[in-house]
Structure 1
Amino acid sequence: MLFNPKTNEKIAFTILRLSAALVVFFVIAILAYVLYNGLGALSIDFITEMPRSRMTEGGIYPAIVGTVYLIVISMAVALPVGILAAIYLNEYAKPGRTTWTIELAINNLAGTPSVVFGLFGLAMFVKYFGFGPAILSASLTLALLILPVIIRASQEALITVPKEYREASLALGVTKWQTIRKVVLPAAIPGMVTGAILSVGRVAGETAPILLTGAAYFLPRLPDSVFSQFMALPYHLFVLATAGTNISQTRPIQYGTALVLLLIVLGVNLLAVTIRNHYKKKIKR
């Protein structure tokens, strides 16, 4: 051993601090870059107006509405399904071939590229179920995309709940489901919300799945229903930056769109963090 234990500990903590500082530096650098370039384009008109002149002028209101639709619907589908699946796997399922198969499927889904989900959504929701290129097709596809993240985060949250909580509740004659609903879930909610936060960021930023299931290149109107085509901020940004009619002319709109997307994700995440902190305080009481 080259150093004594105290020296090794100092070296380890120094490396950890440098790693954390490096991560924070890159996050701040990216945010500062987008903020510096996009702040000039940000205005009330930019947020509330329809795009004009093949997206070289006007605002991004339809893309904002479409993105919010995707986040709300996909989370409304994936969150309850993911939490219920995690409850089954952690609280009810016994070790065996069936449980192993489900776990393997979740792991495979977590590592599947998003474009594959897009192709599946195109075949299943757009074609087979006949939803067509629409908000519903894209939202269900994104729900499948984030499902493994929610399941894993919920499982980890359930595992962290001490077994004594369950045993004490069951010893009082409470049923297993009542124990899970009244004792286990409230204690696990902070961890589950963390999975939801990660999922929101992925839903808001994915391009490939929505490109194949309903996102429109230029659609200067709001969707009439969940069966309508839509614009979305990530695809809007992708088009402006790679295939727009005048990429240099739309540069401010590109950065403005990126900034609005970051602000939406930040706003939803702050809401989720507030909910998580609320339940953490309740647990401590």
Structure 2
Amino acid sequence: MTSDVIPRAPAAGAPETRRLKGRGTPLRERFFHLSLLASLAVGVIFLVALLAYVVVEGWPRLDSRIWSNFPDIINPANAGAQSAIMGTIWIIGFTALYCLPTGILTAIYLEEYADPLRWYNRAIEINIQNLAAVPSIVYGILGLGIISRGLGFGQTVMTAALTLSLLVLPIVIISSREAIRAVPRSIRDASLALGATQWQTVRRQVLPAAVPGMATGAILALSRAIGEAAPLLLLGGLTFITFNPTGAQSAFTVLPIQIFNWISQSRAEFTALASAAIVVLLVILLAMNSLAIWLRNRYARRW
């Protein structure tokens, strides 16, 4: 007399685990892993070498003169980059004032209010994605033709800030949309079920939860804007200026343009000045990125 025996199904993943353990790592996979590590090592080594070279080259001029003195073509020993540093701060401040509210409000509209089936909403999304990949020099031509000459703003801080705002606006919109999209739908449903309006839900529930991602994207976008030189050269950024900007209608220069001016000089003293200005620019960038990391870690929520 025989009895039907139903074989038990093996535990999920057990045969696969035994097969992988028995076979070992394939040679191609190990080669690919080593190739990735080698590529990472090459990039890191070159970056460290460049940073070390810049710091060593600019070390003699890394003192208070670099931020307290104005540029001086005749006597580079006393030259500084105060006007470029202040111009950078003015332009980045106005850029943040122009692009951050516009980008965040656009992201809120596209994620919370826009109907994705409408043709104009689809057109807006496609254009935002395409504009994020446009070279910066194209924005410089646009700013020169429309903002500077067409609107009559001239070669001023406002023109530079508006041009850089157009440059980084797609980045702000995309990063803000991703931060808003990361908030769970259940948070919205619970708020609406308790009687809140859609705007109250967005303002009191969605936006506070999306602040870390939005702040990180905004600061990274401004970090890109602070290092741009090509569009500002087209807009008439001065390579030699001995006064600080006093408002939106002032002439300007920025650190990338000042570095470009010094590095093009033949005297060795200007090379040290350029290296010191690069270090100052890197310090500002690292400070902005550190702020982004702190905001992300400080206000991050785990769902």
TM-score under structure 1 length normalisation: 0.89
CA contact (8 A) 2:220 2:292 kept: no
Change (3 A) 1:238 1:195: same
CA contact (8 A) 1:137 1:214 kept: no
Shift of residue 132, structure 1, vs aligned partner: 0.9
* Cα distance in structure 2, aligned partners of 1:231 and 1:87: 34
Shift of residue 20, structure 1, vs aligned partner: 5.0
Unpaired segments ≥5 residues, structure 1? none
Shift of residue 32, structure 1, vs aligned partner: 2.4
Shift of residue 284, structure 1, vs aligned partner: 5.4
Shift of residue 17, structure 1, vs aligned partner: 5.4
Summarize deviations over 1:111-165 as a string: whole Å, max 9, x none: 1111110111112221122111011100110000000111111111111111111
* Cα distance in structure 1, aligned partners of 2:38 and 2:101: 38
Corresponding residue pairs, total: 279
Aligned residue among 51, 67, 73 for 2:88: 67
SS in structure 2 at match of 1:39: helix
- 1:40 matched residue in structure 2: 60
Change (3 A) 1:13 1:133: same
* Cα distance in structure 1, aligned partners of 2:269 and 2:43: 33
* Cα distance in structure 2, aligned partners of 1:147 and 1:158: 16
Unpaired segments ≥5 residues, structure 2? 1-18
TM-score under structure 2 length normalisation: 0.84
- 1:4 matched residue in structure 2: 20
CA contact (8 A) 1:50 1:220 kept: yes
CA contact (8 A) 1:34 1:255 kept: yes
Change (3 A) 1:251 1:279: same
CA contact (8 A) 2:67 2:80 kept: yes
- 1:154 matched residue in structure 2: 176
* Cα distance in structure 2, aligned partners of 1:80 and 1:181: 14
Summarize deviations over 1:25-83 as a string: whole Å, max 9, x none: 44433322322222221111221011112684411100000011111110121111111
Change (3 A) 1:171 1:271: same
Tell me the percent identity. 41
* Cα distance in structure 2, aligned partners of 1:48 and 1:155: 41
Change (3 A) 1:26 1:93: farther
- Which amino acid is the alignment partner of residue 40 of structure 1? P
Summarize deviations over 1:82-104 as a string: whole Å, max 9, x none: 11111111111111311211011
CA contact (8 A) 1:73 1:139 kept: yes
Task: Confirm whether residue 95 of structure 1 aligns to residue 120 of structure 2.
Answer: no
- Which amino acid is the alignment partner of residue 80 of structure 2? G
- Which amino acid is the alignment partner of residue 268 of structure 1? M
